[in-house]
Copies of this chain bind each other. A is one copy, B any other.
Amino acid sequence: MEITRHTFSEQLETVIKDINESAFIAIDGEFTGLDATASGHASHFDTPEERYNKIRQECSDFLLIQFGLCAFKADEEKRRYEAKPYNFYIFPTPLTRHAPDRRFLCQSSSIDFLCSQGFDFNKLFKEGIPFLIPDEENKLKAELERKHEEARKSGSGLLTSPYQGSAKKNYASIPEEQKPFLDNICEQIAEYLKGQDKEPLVIPPCNAFQRKLIYQTVEERFPDAHIETKTGEKKIRYMEVTRAKSPEEQQKLLKEKQNLEKMELDIQVGFTKVIRAITSSGKLVVGHNMFLDVFHILNNFHGTLPADLEEFKAVTKSVFPRLLDTKLMASTRPLQELISFSGLSDVLQTLQSPPFLPVQVDVAEGFERYHNGAGALHEAGYDALITGRCFATMVNYLGTLQNPPKEFTLPSSHIVEPFVNKLFLMRINDIPYLNLDGPDLRVNREHVFHVTFPKEWKPSDLHALFQPYGAVQISWLTETTAYVALHKKENASMALKALSQHVGSFHVISYAAHHLSKSTRFLSASSPAPLSSPSIPAKRKLKVNEADTVPRKAKRHSLTDEVSPYPVIPEEDESLNDSTTETVQHESCNSDLGQKMEDGETEKTKEKLFDESGTW
Contact = CB atoms under 8 A, between A and B. Distances in A.
Interface stretch (A160-168, A194-202, A397-405, A499-507): A160-168
Contacts of A590: 175, 209
Given A97-B604, A108-B92, A593 B208 contact: yes
A118 B596 CA distance: 36
A120 interface: yes
Given A91-B108, A115-B122, A604-B97, A610 B103 contact: no
B207 A167 contact: no
Interface in A338-355: 340-341, 343, 346
Interface string A571-599: 00000000000000000011001101100
Contacts of A125: 111-112, 115, 121
B97 A112 contact: no
Interface in A107-125: 107-109, 111-113, 115-118, 120-122, 125
A172 B117 contact: no
Given A38-B101, A590-B209, A108 B93 contact: yes
Contact of A106 (B106, B346, B604, B606): B106
A10 interface: no
A539 interface: no
A478 interface: no
Contacts of A606: 208
A239 to B, nearest CB: 13
A195 to B, nearest CB: 30
Interface in A441-485: 459-460, 463, 471
A118 B38 CA distance: 33
A556 interface: yes
A36 interface: yes
Interface in A89-104: 91-94, 97-98, 101-104
A560 to B, nearest CB: 19
A170 B610 contact: yes
22 contacts: A38-B101, A93-B108, A94-B112, A94-B602, A98-B604, A106-B106, A113-B235, A115-B125, A117-B235, A167-B463, A170-B612, A172-B613, A172-B614, A207-B343, A207-B346, A207-B593, A208-B594, A209-B341, A209-B594, A212-B610, A237-B597, A237-B603
Given A166-B460, A170-B612, 16 more contacts: A33-B103, A91-B108, A97-B602, A97-B603, A102-B108, A103-B107, A103-B108, A106-B106, A115-B125, A117-B235, A163-B610, A170-B459, A175-B340, A207-B594, A208-B597, A208-B610
